[in-house]
Structure 1
Amino acid sequence: MTHPSSPPDAVFGHTTTRRHRGRRPGLRAGVAVTVLTAVAVGSAYAAGLGPFERDDAPDPAAVAQAQAFLADWAGGRLDSAGSRTTSPARAQKVLRSFTAGLDISKPELTAARATTEDDGTVRVAFTAKMPVTGLGTWTYRSELPVREQENGSWKVDWSLSLVHPHLSDTAKFRLEREDTPLPKVIDRNGTSLTGDAHPSLRPVLTQFARGGSGPHGAIRLVDRATGEVERTEATFGKKDGQPSDKPVTTTLDATWQAAADKALADTTGGKNASLVALRVDNGEILAMANSPATGFNRAVSGTYAPGSTWKIVTSSALLLKGAVAPDDVVDCPKYLTVGKSFHNVETSEFPGATFRKAFTESCNTAFIGLRDKLGDAELGDVAREYFGVGQEWHVGIPSYDGSVPVPKDETEKAASMIGQGRIQANPLIMASVTATAASGRFHQPTIVPGGKETTSTKPLPSSVVTRLRALMRATVTDGTARVLADLPGGIGAKTGAAEVADGRPNNGWLVARRGNVAVACVVEQGVTGGGSAGPILHSLLSAVPGDPS
């Protein structure tokens, strides 16, 4: 994979001006700091400070901020990581570009020794272990400069070099994958799967290389302007050996995969999009597709706000505790202010709406108005305990398994009710959520039969499942998913429009269930789910009218 030359803030970095400010005199005079023990990204870190080191002892608040930054970065909470720096927007952009552009999944970032400089800057060293998809782990060391701000808080002083010491405004990284013999990969029925026949599987097929040499490649440091290689940062794989003669069996279905690739190729209009189809009864993945087909696997590793498709989980939480019933009047005004003004798509309103109407028309204000019915942590608890979201999944390829943090304030709680705020998911997660709502039981998604199962969930009560099915069916017959209404099979669905940063158009979402198949699709900048993801899933379900064998 190669990238064109780019300005500092376009691909893997940007420039900032570092501000140096000395410590305010007397700020911590007479304060003895003896022992600081902290945990960073799952690893313990202790700094023992003797009685003669008071003046140079790192401020605990500075170290805590550095550790929180590393934890957010490792956990994929890049907006939160950015907010802990002196340049939030640029930090978020670079961290996202760095991990996505180099196909890095689930970084492991471990804090080490912290020191204080003469000007008061606290430097926290850390070790980075970056798993490069399908190749191996890139390990390096860097450090975080943390500076005290005018208001007394501490921020990570943003610069490109803290991401990696060699990243700069003149040099960036490039991931190069070298051609390597791949094992034969077959679908659930023994049909051969190839990159030529199934374009979206090209990146995935390399991840199944086993035996022999496996895939190989390198991370190069290159000049931003010329693309000339300055040095090799890491190499992966051996160039001798042959792949195993034994074919790799997957849960994929060649028919569903071909239809998924075609649906994206024909109906995305050039927008980035991805989808996943899986079996409801056991979580086996039938198809995953991305547009563009090469590069980052958004379908299973992307991090998106799920928007109103998340109302399936919110509704489950409300129904589980009897906080609302389908015929209860919840109202649906155009606007509702909770710290900020929330509104419905196209500022629609439905006075005197029932909860059923609020669900089928995807009324944001009605759901936000029910936020006091749930405790602050309750939505995340339901997502984890019933839907498996946020637990560690073993899919068979690298995946992002979702995040539902406890809201920081009332505004964020309101946003989380409609799948915004800091909630993150992807089509794999939302296809699984749809399957769980339809069957009542979570099944860990998998692409390789017999995968490791480490999740622990509870079944949804049958009364909740019955209501969820009815709500999703009504969304197709009478609501925002009417785009699927002409298809047979008693399809149930939920649309979503998820706001994104920088004033860009909403991402469009649609999830659906027909028989034993659950599907989920997201279209970046698709504006509405029915208008952008709707035609894609209509094409897919039309092309494959029956359940998989």
Structure 2
Amino acid sequence: MDTHADHFSSTVPTPGGPRPRRKVLRAVTAGAVVLAVTAGGAWAAGIGPFARDTGPDPAAGEQARAFLADWAAGRVPGAAERTTSPDAARRVLDSFTGGLDIDEPVLEAGTAAESGDGTVTVPFTARMPVTGLGTWTYRSELPLREQADGVWKVDWKLSVVHPRLSGTEKFRLEREDGKPPEVADRQGRRLTADAFPSLAPLMNRLGGDGGGNTGARGAIRLVDRTTGKVRRTEATFGTKAVRADKGPVPTTLDAGWQSAAEEALASHADGKNAALVALRIDDGEVLAVANSPAGGFNRALSGTYAPGSTWKIVTSSALLLKDAVAPDDVVDCPKFLTVGKKFQNVELSEHPGATFRKDFTESCNTAFISLRDRLGDGELGDVARKYFGVGQEWHVGAPTYDGSVPVPKDETEKAASMIGQGRVQANPLIMASVTATAVSGRFRQPSLVAGTQDTTRTTPLPREVVGQLREMLRATVTGGTARMLSGLPGEVGAKTGTAEVSDDQDNNGWLVAHRGNVAVACVVEEGVTGGGSAGPIVRSLLTAAPGDSE
């Protein structure tokens, strides 16, 4: 069992529910909040710790974020009920995502602003994955109006979905399917979607320009609803198809590791959405990419998740780099810590007089949050970018999401960022790379195909910091929350993580690990705990894997 302190609790009012109007002490709901279906919703940054008497009613921002979360997660009826025209909204949202083959949108809310007519406007960025083609990105905004009963609702109109959607114009998806390229692993062995189902959505995205835009092609057009005449092209996907005479696209994948990864997910994901990446530490070459379910959205490379306590690897690095703490320093681990809202440890666990090493191995949230004042507001993001490459543009050979660590908008969000919550976003590719960087000292851009461009600029971690990180990762296996890996051969280091998603969903479970020359990261949506859900998957992979790719 993963009975560690990755989970935190806070009290947030139910979005959209009736509440008394506040004349004073109105808190500002500001800053972007990422709402990603791959994470099943969002950590609600909610009301900050500083009360103010100006700004939009926080309830309006909460309703906007709840609408986007429901839409992103496919809860269309719920999203529609948050609008002024539920029936129309439900019909349009269903036809928009279904008609354009959009699977698992990522919706990012911006800062709410008051309008002169009494409405509140919340801008948002939409990243719409079009199945088998790519991601369509655009911006729109949500107008919200307070109803007679005091509840804020999205003032429904077609432009809520997209600013160019109207009563006279709609969108049309056009496909030009090309034959997927043949793919070979690092030993020249042919990889097929039949034998390796998780690779199916990846096949069309490998090779060519190094950005994964080959094979299938298509476009989204804005057309006249009556005549069908094309008014403009909103997005295009793909380039020229791969020529058959070029032969299989060579990849860094390893058939043995890929098989072990897919079997681990099939046997231990328990039907939940999950993803896994394994890569070589010394050069960043990806050995396995696996998703459950196998088809559709590639969570492993493009997912946007709060990494939870696996992010404490980066937080620890930031603290150790500036000598803000040492492994043997006493950093108390109380049950609760309030920073604008109450944070807590799993099962209200506590470790009085714990060292920082103990806080890491037991994943104590309150201890890490208590050290937030030892880092500048933007320092965690700076360390993530400078040393770990997170947030820089990666050229892996297929479409990826490369992470985000925004500067916290208030003390509550800064506290959450220390434990991989708030607006910190990552995926298994990023966290496998973070683990590889931590134990080797140097970021190496992950790659799936040869010849990818590397435009990242990073700085090596000091040798002393690397040694401290390796020791704490190992101690987490031998006597901490990753004890489920302790019986494996070799010197395994690991970190568990549990990331809160929303009040009505179970936590996501995380586990990262390294052994020999391989780093692994796994996430299980609504897995409750990292050790309990991702732990058996990683253990199965490391048990069956064909060596450590020295």
Q: Report the TM-score, using the length of structure 2 for normalisation.
A: 0.73
The C-alpha deviation readout for 1:366-416, integer Å capped at 9, x for no partner, is: 111111111111111100100000111111111100110111111111111
* Letter matched to residue 202 of structure 1: A
Distance 1:213 1:385 in 2: 32
Q: 2:196 matched to 1:198? A: yes
Q: Which residue of 2 aligns with 1:408?
A: 409
Q: Which residue of 1 aligns with 2:112?
A: none
Contact residue 206 and residue 214 of structure 2 kept, 8 A: no
Distance 1:198 1:448 in 2: 17
Q: Which residue of 2 aligns with 1:208?
A: 206
Q: Which moved more, 1:235-244 or 1:345-354?
A: 235-244
CA distance 1:143–1:506, change in 2 (3 Å): closer
Distance 2:403 2:239 in 1: 36
Distance 2:416 2:296 in 1: 31
Q: Which residue of 2 aligns with 1:49?
A: none
Contact residue 102 and residue 129 of structure 2 kept, 8 A: no
Q: Which residue of 2 aligns with 1:500?
A: 501
Distance 1:204 1:316 in 2: 33
* Letter matched to residue 330 of structure 1: V
User: Alpha-carbon deviation of 1:337?
Assistant: 0.9
* Letter matched to residue 305 of structure 2: Y
The C-alpha deviation readout for 1:185-206, integer Å capped at 9, x for no partner, is: 1011101011011110000001
Q: Which residue of 1 aligns with 2:320?
A: 319
Question: What root-mean-square deviation, in Å, do the aligned CA atoms of Structure 1 and Structure 2 show?
Answer: 4.3
* Letter matched to residue 245 of structure 2: D
CA distance 1:173–1:525, change in 2 (3 Å): farther
* Letter matched to residue 159 of structure 2: S
Distance 2:127 2:305 in 1: 24
Q: Which residue of 1 aligns with 2:371?
A: 370
Q: Secondary structure of the equivalent of 2:245?
A: coil
* Letter matched to residue 181 of structure 1: K
User: Alpha-carbon deviation of 1:102?
Assistant: 1.9
User: Alpha-carbon deviation of 1:122?
Assistant: 11
* Letter matched to residue 188 of structure 1: R
* Letter matched to residue 399 of structure 1: T
CA distance 1:275–1:175, change in 2 (3 Å): farther
The C-alpha deviation readout for 1:228-250, integer Å capped at 9, x for no partner, is: xx999989789998743222111
User: Alpha-carbon deviation of 1:502?
Assistant: 3.2
Distance 2:355 2:120 in 1: 55
* Letter matched to residue 508 of structure 1: G
Of 79, 83, 90 in structure 1, the residue corresponding to residue 67 of structure 2 is 90
Contact residue 305 and residue 424 of structure 1 kept, 8 A: yes
User: Alpha-carbon deviation of 1:70?
Assistant: 12
User: Alpha-carbon deviation of 1:505?
Assistant: 1.1
Q: Which residue of 2 aligns with 1:183?
A: 181
CA distance 1:462–1:415, change in 2 (3 Å): same
Q: Which residue of 2 aligns with 1:257?
A: 258
Report matched runs for 1:110-189 at 5 Å.
132=130, 135=133, 144=141, 159=157, 161-164=159-162, 180-189=178-187
Contact residue 86 and residue 158 of structure 1 kept, 8 A: no
Q: Which moved more, 1:240-249 or 1:355-364?
A: 240-249
User: Alpha-carbon deviation of 1:168?
Assistant: 9.6
Q: Secondary structure of the equivalent of 2:309?
A: helix
* Letter matched to residue 477 of structure 1: T
Q: Which residue of 1 aligns with 2:461?
A: 460
Q: 2:428 matched to 1:427? A: yes
User: Alpha-carbon deviation of 1:473?
Assistant: 0.2
* Letter matched to residue 87 of structure 1: A
Contact residue 103 and residue 128 of structure 2 kept, 8 A: no
Q: Which moved more, 1:273-282 or 1:156-165?
A: 156-165
Distance 2:377 2:238 in 1: 50
Q: Which residue of 1 aligns with 2:447?
A: 446
Q: Secondary structure of the equivalent of 2:244?
A: coil
Report matched runs for 1:189-338 at 5 Å.
189-208=187-206, 214-216=215-217, 243-246=243-246, 247-338=248-339
Amino-acid identity (%): 65
Q: Which residue of 1 aligns with 2:521?
A: 520
Q: Secondary structure of the equivalent of 2:289?
A: strand
Q: Report the TM-score, using the length of structure 1 for normalisation.
A: 0.73
Distance 1:129 1:371 in 2: 32
Distance 2:360 2:125 in 1: 46
Contact residue 402 and residue 430 of structure 2 kept, 8 A: yes
Contact residue 506 and residue 528 of structure 2 kept, 8 A: yes
CA distance 1:422–1:101, change in 2 (3 Å): farther
> Relative CO higher for 1 or 2, CA cutoff 8 Å, sep ≥ 6?
2
The C-alpha deviation readout for 1:237-292, integer Å capped at 9, x for no partner, is: 89998743222111111110011000000001111100100010111111010000
Contact residue 272 and residue 292 of structure 2 kept, 8 A: yes
User: Alpha-carbon deviation of 1:183?
Assistant: 1.9
Q: Secondary structure of the equivalent of 1:88?
A: helix
Distance 1:457 1:149 in 2: 48
Rg: which structure is higher?
1
The C-alpha deviation readout for 1:106-159, integer Å capped at 9, x for no partner, is: 9999xxxxxx99x6989999999977475367698x864757989xxx998565
* Letter matched to residue 92 of structure 1: A
Contact residue 403 and residue 425 of structure 1 kept, 8 A: yes
CA distance 1:95–1:330, change in 2 (3 Å): same
The C-alpha deviation readout for 1:30-67, integer Å capped at 9, x for no partner, is: xxxxxxxxxxxxxxxxxxxxxxxxxxxxxxxxxxx9xx
User: Alpha-carbon deviation of 1:215?
Assistant: 1.4
Q: Could you list the runs of 5+ residues in structure 1 that have no partner in the other structure?
A: 1-15, 17-64, 110-115, 222-229
CA distance 1:281–1:133, change in 2 (3 Å): farther
CA distance 1:245–1:455, change in 2 (3 Å): same
Distance 1:472 1:424 in 2: 22
Q: Which residue of 1 aligns with 2:82?
A: none
Distance 1:239 1:381 in 2: 35
| Corresponding residue pairs, total | 462
Distance 1:156 1:330 in 2: 45
Distance 1:105 1:243 in 2: 32
Contact residue 472 and residue 494 of structure 1 kept, 8 A: yes
Distance 1:426 1:127 in 2: 19
Distance 1:259 1:284 in 2: 17
* Letter matched to residue 429 of structure 2: L
The C-alpha deviation readout for 1:300-348, integer Å capped at 9, x for no partner, is: 1111100000000000001000011111110111111111111112211
Q: Secondary structure of the equivalent of 2:497?
A: strand
Contact residue 272 and residue 524 of structure 1 kept, 8 A: yes
The C-alpha deviation readout for 1:461-484, integer Å capped at 9, x for no partner, is: 000000000000000000000000
Q: Which residue of 2 aligns with 1:23?
A: none
* Letter matched to residue 94 of structure 1: W
Q: Could you list the runs of 5+ residues in structure 2 that have no partner in the other structure?
A: 1-15, 17-29, 47-58, 75-95, 110-114, 223-227
User: Alpha-carbon deviation of 1:536?
Assistant: 0.2
Distance 1:270 1:217 in 2: 32
Distance 1:126 1:289 in 2: 30
Q: Which residue of 2 aligns with 1:392?
A: 393
